[in-house]
Structure 1
Amino acid sequence: MKSKATLKELAKELGVSTSTVSKALSDSPEISEVTKRKIKEFAQLRNYKPNSVAKNLKNKRTHTIGVILPNILNPFFAKVFSGIEKYANKRGYNLITCTSNESLTKEKQMLEMLDNGAIDGFVLALAKETQKENNLEHLKQVIKGGTPIVLFDRIANELKCDKVIVDDYESGFHATQYLIDTGCKRIAIVSTIENSSVGDLRAKGYFEALAKNQRDSDSDLILLAQEEKEFDSKIEALLDEKPDGIFALNEHVSVATMKLALKKGFRIPDDLSIIGFADGLWSRRMTPSLSTVSQHAPEIGQKAAELLIERIEQEIDSEELIVYKTEIIKTELRKRDSVRKL
């Protein structure tokens, strides 16, 4: 049995855009009869079956957005999704949501599955594995095929698409500076998101703040990992070095660090001040409550959906005329009971 070709594969093999193939197969008057005949014959040869739902929709749009999240259990990504959903529904768009589970392979599969006329565009944050391996070909192919993408949070600067980020570098700098201003002398940094774009920028802010205040970084106070494997034992070893301040680069790590510090007898914030990243329920319900850098996740989701829908509904014939945007959402340091007061 012949394998069924996708719209994207037809376009690639014929050397034309997916839009041209789609219009030809729909008998659009915009396409010449010669080109239509050529594309239809090739589609039949390649056993192409059109998406029947998308084919019959007005304006050749599905009014559906594909959302790919690295981890739906992460409160930050769940809040971003709520922002995407609220704005998309307001504009009359539906969502198809998938999770990559931080896997490059699954991210590729989700993109390929949906990029066949089922959706008008994608909103996604890159999987950890995608950023670690810096493998972006699957995303470049989607963009080249004419499907718009908006990246948020974890991005790749080399991809030609719209992006929504927070001021990760400035956030890392200001959080560390606040710990310094409140009298912390031995400030540790803890992360399980090393080699992600956001983790690298937050860490850079930490090191810059130390340097600006003429503080040397101490290797015994640096725990930058790519995953949570054996995390508790590594944190316990770091706490044995008696830090008086900790900047944790993601929420799960900050909560776990505080729990272990309390278990080891640290008085927070008298002996140890802790600032985390993201601002979920865990942070507010801890005792003492955890100070965090709030990313305003719903606002990130809303802006990402806004940029994508604007791109979908924009009529631009030449890619050379497209000006891509990078929107920066300002963060906020929420000072709770886990840090000393100025």
Structure 2
Amino acid sequence: MPYSQGITHMAKSWFLKGAPVDGNTVLIPMHSFPATVGRSTQCAVTIDSNGVSRFHAQFDMSAQGELLLTDLGSTNGTYRNRERITAPTSIIEGDILHFGSAEFRVNQTEIGNSQFQSKACSEQTCFFDIAQHSLPENFLLQESDFIEMLSSGLLKVAWQPIVDFHTLDVLAYEVLGRGAHLALPQSPMQLFQLAEKINKEVALSQAFRVCGAKAAARRGEPVRLFMNSHPQEMFLESFFTSVEQICLLAPQMELVMEIHETAVVEGNRLKIVVDRLRSNGVLMAYDDFGAGQARLQEIAEIPADIVKFDMALIRDIHRAPPKKQQMIEQLVKIVTDLGSQTLAEGVETEEEAVVCRQMGFQLCQGYLTGKPELV
């Protein structure tokens, strides 16, 4: 990757700051304005990501020296400090910007000749010439922000109701984690993407469960909660320790641990996990059933208490071809015959609900019966 050359004086300059997976902090200088950002190689800042539009956004400098950012009608939006911008927006040092999912922090600092020579990489900081290459999508803010979020418990949870498909009584809630650190995304998907780059997926998964259990303790009433697990923690001793911890935090809680369907390929090991969970009074649910290959033989050997059918199967099910509807109905019957309750995820319309009831689904989760609410 080439380094910038030819800066001959000390000056205040604007930078986009990020940290790719190799651990270096990268400062990308913007030498002149307007400076466009996008996937096209014609942009001043080229970001190699399908989530970034060809011409995504543009930086400008006002006559008063104010840095302005404008979205150029991008598909996935431009965000300043987690808020989507719809007009030219003033940018100051320290702001966090998202172009689609690509994330940067804005810096303004003094630079000079020595920082841009061919070996100018000191203290894990490299200055790159953005005009000669594309930046990867996987930029990450400083690890310290993420660690602070975990250590300080800067998280929150929303509960989404799970209802009886026929009576519409609320039987349980799924715990859905959110971030609450001002320098990091709120979205759990984005947080797990960041966690993967610093090997903190398991810690984040466990932290969300602790947050959910504390919310249950505050409620002070018996409640059944569905909580998610991360594939990487499934066979670790720390997984069982974390489950025991949250059960102690909220003794009035009936816990259902969600396990991704793909875990059934580890049949012998999974059976040990399920037996240990059930010995502690914890129920088990297979999550996202049917998202990939429906492993019926393995599921028959280790039946779950609940099987959650992936929302991709449920979406527009009333418009699905008859053969697809027949296939899903047969899967519902097979799972029910194994002694598991069947849950339809992502039900958003009454038309979808009618078909799901006819197919024999017992439980429902989706916007039709209740959106996630912070607790």
Return the TM-score normalized by structure 1: 0.32
- Bigger relative contact order, structure 1 or 2 (CA pairs below 8 A, ≥6 apart): 1
Return the TM-score normalized by structure 2: 0.30
Normalized per residue, the structure richer in strand is 2
